[in-house]
A and B are shown apart, each in its own frame.
Chain A
């Protein structure tokens, strides 16, 4: 049960990042979003992609120190993307990042020993 909650943490980070990615792509390519074609939206697309990849990697890192480094980077990425979303007036991106932050908080409750890799749909095994 506890192990499942650890997976949920990474899954939430991944889900938040993927949602942010989709929302940012929509904002970038759709006319009249106010930020279509903007560098800012591109930055969020790139950041979301990186966050999603990091969420996939997080559960498989067994070394505590490296896991904490990644958690720290994820925290910065989630907060930065959250702020970028708000500055782009893409409130849903902000919400997606809140979900990601919740996931990261859950992940941080993992014990020092590494948990088995999390399974996310079609990506992890």
Chain B
């Protein structure tokens, strides 16, 4: 199974290229109407110890010790040595090639490396797609130690070997000379979580079985494949909050999306949270959390971006309510009980997984200070709610959406979906995307014919068996991916990169799908079986015969939003699309995977683009101020840290086949000249 890839966007010659009504979920009896979300009665809000000093949302000192820099997922550094005035002087101070890379041409599957380095314990820690941990000197890149999990290099659940880095924990009062007071964790595709001493790389004997926790021991329902630990756990206090990834689109049923809380010292399971009602766990499964989470330690809440149930493009086997699916759900970190939940897609049949950690922000709207949360989505919507209660900051309206055309047996359709009124959508889904004249002309009208043959009744047009399927703008490849939203708490500006991708989704009844498969026709072309379900599917980018996108550029943008007003401050195309090495004009932009970091120096650092360039932009204006070439697209957020008085910006250039067929093993770090 191969997902439609951005790399297919450009052809050879293209140059050749609720009023939020609804919304609080609850874990009580299911609503018989699958499309309505019932209000939740918030459970007791977690309370912090009143005697303890408050834990600020934004760390008092520069911190980059987790996947998104900080638990608030702001990807913000208060460091200001590098500024808009001197960023042009940045120089590469060191780079490391890990050697853990495969292009898939041999026996080893291709690698996809979306790790953000973490800076902790005066060390830079990195996880690799061969499931090794590297501990590097932050100033020189010299290796201090490495740890090899000896994990099998098999693509058990994903089309590639994947890793999104490591997690770090340390005891509140580390005991000098005692091992594993500071621990680095890495997960593997075969569902094992390793814990090693942060100073030495030695496995922590007191953690699970000699430093290895077999998470697959809890994989007891629809266990057709392991619970792959590609995303490092989210560390909240002495807990590791652990989601996992699976094998989407392959089977009708999948393991149900349980989230685990594990003791950081011992690996003992403390609580679990089931994202699906009991009846659906066996019957459908997933609604897992496969990406990073964020947490507010003062509120004692951890925020889960929850994906869609299985199978992703047909819901006839899961017609009952699943209020936590495709949602942002806040849990009491001590108990794992849901405090509030907002479902962003009702009865999701588009694979609109919530795929990035919500960004926790304190904003001032109309003179009122609001503890808020920004949830980016594949749809290109940014949902902004009060992170204590889940209530709207700006109205989120339930609007009618298209129903089905009657061609899909067993399916039910949500009559309404939530639409935010502010901020404005990152891409305009209100209208059918415009056909790109150039692509249409060079293909002698093929794009127009394709668009005519695709059913489109507006956003949330359901998948269909008729014609060439339904047009989706965007579908699973579009909008915002796991890089999420960065936020400058000083100016209250949010920054996010987005992709503009038009796709088609066509369902094939089982008999038709099997006929195509038997003829060998499903090996390429975006086919996925959803085996066991009534329908298989084909998901493709809408391209002309030359491989050019049929929709108008830009294909990706960087957007800054004033979170005091919800208005777009500026937006601009980002990067350049590239095919066969040929760069397209920068005004066309590039699809993006990865995300930004912002600094008090007034800067945005980001890779994410197809052209594998690393860039710095002015936060105030969006002007590009600096760029350098990396080995492969940097498909994670960069890290910003200070070591021995010098500010560094670190990127991992690992590539992602969804974006482009280019892999990398480069860790590259920049600073100002001494």
Residues of A within 8 A of B (CB): 31-35, 38-41, 43, 83-84, 87-89
Is B15 interfacial (CB 8 A cutoff)?
yes
Is B640 interfacial (CB 8 A cutoff)?
no
Whether B631 lies near A32 (C-beta < 8 A) is yes
Whole-angstrom distance from the CB of B122 to the nearest CB of chain A? 29
Q: Which parts of B603-659 form the interface with A (CB within 8 Å)?
A: 611-613, 629-631
CB nearest neighbor in A for B611: A34
Whether B582 lies near A40 (C-beta < 8 A) is yes
Whether A34 lies near B613 (C-beta < 8 A) is yes
Whole-angstrom distance from the CB of A47 to the nearest CB of chain B? 13
Whether B583 lies near A89 (C-beta < 8 A) is yes
Whether A40 lies near B581 (C-beta < 8 A) is yes
Is B444 interfacial (CB 8 A cutoff)?
no
Inter-chain contacts of A33 with B (CB < 8 A) = 629
Whole-angstrom distance from the CB of A89 to the nearest CB of chain B? 5
Q: List 23 A-B contacts (CB under 8 A).
A: A32-B629, A32-B630, A32-B631, A33-B629, A34-B581, A34-B583, A34-B611, A34-B612, A34-B613, A34-B629, A35-B581, A38-B580, A38-B581, A39-B581, A40-B580, A40-B582, A41-B581, A43-B580, A87-B15, A87-B583, A88-B582, A88-B583, A89-B583
Whole-angstrom distance from the CB of A81 to the nearest CB of chain B? 13
Complex interface bits, B568-605 against A, C-beta within 8 A gives 1, otherwise 0: 00000000000011111000000000000000000000
Whether A88 lies near B631 (C-beta < 8 A) is no
Inter-chain contacts of B613 with A (CB < 8 A) = 34
Inter-chain contacts of B582 with A (CB < 8 A) = 40, 84, 87-88
Most buried by A among B582, B584, B613, B631: B582
Inter-chain contacts of A39 with B (CB < 8 A) = 580-581
CB nearest neighbor in B for A28: B581
- How many angstroms between the C-alpha atoms of A41 and B140 in the bound complex? 33
* 6 additional contacts (CB under 8 A) given A35-B581, A89-B583: A32-B629, A32-B630, A33-B629, A34-B581, A38-B580, A83-B15
Inter-chain contacts of B584 with A (CB < 8 A) = 87
- How many angstroms between the C-alpha atoms of A33 and B613 in the bound complex? 10
Inter-chain contacts of B629 with A (CB < 8 A) = 32-34
- How many angstroms between the C-alpha atoms of A51 and B629 in the bound complex? 30
Most buried by A among B584, B612, B629: B629
Inter-chain contacts of B631 with A (CB < 8 A) = 31-32
- How many angstroms between the C-alpha atoms of A84 and B579 in the bound complex? 12
Inter-chain contacts of A43 with B (CB < 8 A) = 580
Whether A88 lies near B630 (C-beta < 8 A) is no
- How many angstroms between the C-alpha atoms of A88 and B581 in the bound complex? 6
- How many angstroms between the C-alpha atoms of A110 and B110 in the bound complex? 56
- How many angstroms between the C-alpha atoms of A32 and B42 in the bound complex? 53
CB nearest neighbor in B for A39: B580
Whole-angstrom distance from the CB of B666 to the nearest CB of chain A? 9
- How many angstroms between the C-alpha atoms of A41 and B581 in the bound complex? 7
Inter-chain contacts of B612 with A (CB < 8 A) = 34
Whole-angstrom distance from the CB of A95 to the nearest CB of chain B? 17
Inter-chain contacts of A40 with B (CB < 8 A) = 580-582
Inter-chain contacts of B583 with A (CB < 8 A) = 34, 87-89
- How many angstroms between the C-alpha atoms of A55 and B611 in the bound complex? 34
- How many angstroms between the C-alpha atoms of A34 and B575 in the bound complex? 13
Whole-angstrom distance from the CB of A11 to the nearest CB of chain B? 30
Inter-chain contacts of B630 with A (CB < 8 A) = 32
Whole-angstrom distance from the CB of B633 to the nearest CB of chain A? 11
Inter-chain contacts of A34 with B (CB < 8 A) = 581, 583, 611-613, 629
Most buried by B among A34, A39, A41, A43: A34
Inter-chain contacts of A35 with B (CB < 8 A) = 581
Whole-angstrom distance from the CB of A14 to the nearest CB of chain B? 25
Inter-chain contacts of A41 with B (CB < 8 A) = 581
Whole-angstrom distance from the CB of B632 to the nearest CB of chain A? 10
CB nearest neighbor in B for A41: B581
Whole-angstrom distance from the CB of A20 to the nearest CB of chain B? 15
- How many angstroms between the C-alpha atoms of A75 and B613 in the bound complex? 33
Whole-angstrom distance from the CB of A111 to the nearest CB of chain B? 38
Whole-angstrom distance from the CB of A23 to the nearest CB of chain B? 14
Inter-chain contacts of A83 with B (CB < 8 A) = 15
- How many angstroms between the C-alpha atoms of A35 and B584 in the bound complex? 13
CB nearest neighbor in A for B668: A32
Whole-angstrom distance from the CB of A123 to the nearest CB of chain B? 30
Whole-angstrom distance from the CB of A34 to the nearest CB of chain B? 5
- How many angstroms between the C-alpha atoms of A43 and B582 in the bound complex? 11
Inter-chain contacts of B611 with A (CB < 8 A) = 34
Whole-angstrom distance from the CB of A39 to the nearest CB of chain B? 4
Whole-angstrom distance from the CB of B615 to the nearest CB of chain A? 13
Shortest Cβ-Cβ A-B pairs, 5 listed: A38-B581, A40-B581, A35-B581, A39-B580, A87-B582
Most buried by B among A31, A38, A39, A87: A87
Whole-angstrom distance from the CB of B320 to the nearest CB of chain A? 50
- How many angstroms between the C-alpha atoms of A43 and B579 in the bound complex? 13
- How many angstroms between the C-alpha atoms of A83 and B13 in the bound complex? 12
Whole-angstrom distance from the CB of A90 to the nearest CB of chain B? 10
- How many angstroms between the C-alpha atoms of A83 and B629 in the bound complex? 21
CB nearest neighbor in B for A44: B581
- How many angstroms between the C-alpha atoms of A40 and B580 in the bound complex? 5
Inter-chain contacts of B581 with A (CB < 8 A) = 34-35, 38-41, 88
Inter-chain contacts of A31 with B (CB < 8 A) = 631
- How many angstroms between the C-alpha atoms of A34 and B611 in the bound complex? 7
Inter-chain contacts of A32 with B (CB < 8 A) = 629-631
- How many angstroms between the C-alpha atoms of A32 and B613 in the bound complex? 10
- How many angstroms between the C-alpha atoms of A33 and B629 in the bound complex? 7
CB nearest neighbor in A for B579: A40
CB nearest neighbor in B for A90: B581
- How many angstroms between the C-alpha atoms of A78 and B631 in the bound complex? 30
CB nearest neighbor in B for A34: B629
- How many angstroms between the C-alpha atoms of A31 and B101 in the bound complex? 15
Inter-chain contacts of B15 with A (CB < 8 A) = 83, 87
Whole-angstrom distance from the CB of B19 to the nearest CB of chain A? 48
Inter-chain contacts of A87 with B (CB < 8 A) = 15, 582-584
Most buried by A among B581, B584, B631: B581
- How many angstroms between the C-alpha atoms of A57 and B236 in the bound complex? 73
- How many angstroms between the C-alpha atoms of A41 and B582 in the bound complex? 9
Whole-angstrom distance from the CB of A25 to the nearest CB of chain B? 14
Inter-chain contacts of A84 with B (CB < 8 A) = 582
- How many angstroms between the C-alpha atoms of A89 and B630 in the bound complex? 15
- How many angstroms between the C-alpha atoms of A38 and B631 in the bound complex? 12
Inter-chain contacts of B580 with A (CB < 8 A) = 38-40, 43
- How many angstroms between the C-alpha atoms of A34 and B613 in the bound complex? 8
- How many angstroms between the C-alpha atoms of A70 and B112 in the bound complex? 47
- How many angstroms between the C-alpha atoms of A88 and B583 in the bound complex? 6
Whole-angstrom distance from the CB of B14 to the nearest CB of chain A? 10
Complex interface bits, B5-28 against A, C-beta within 8 A gives 1, otherwise 0: 000000000010000000000000
- How many angstroms between the C-alpha atoms of A87 and B583 in the bound complex? 5
- How many angstroms between the C-alpha atoms of A89 and B611 in the bound complex? 11
Whole-angstrom distance from the CB of B674 to the nearest CB of chain A? 23
- How many angstroms between the C-alpha atoms of A40 and B10 in the bound complex? 13
Whole-angstrom distance from the CB of A115 to the nearest CB of chain B? 37
CB nearest neighbor in A for B15: A87
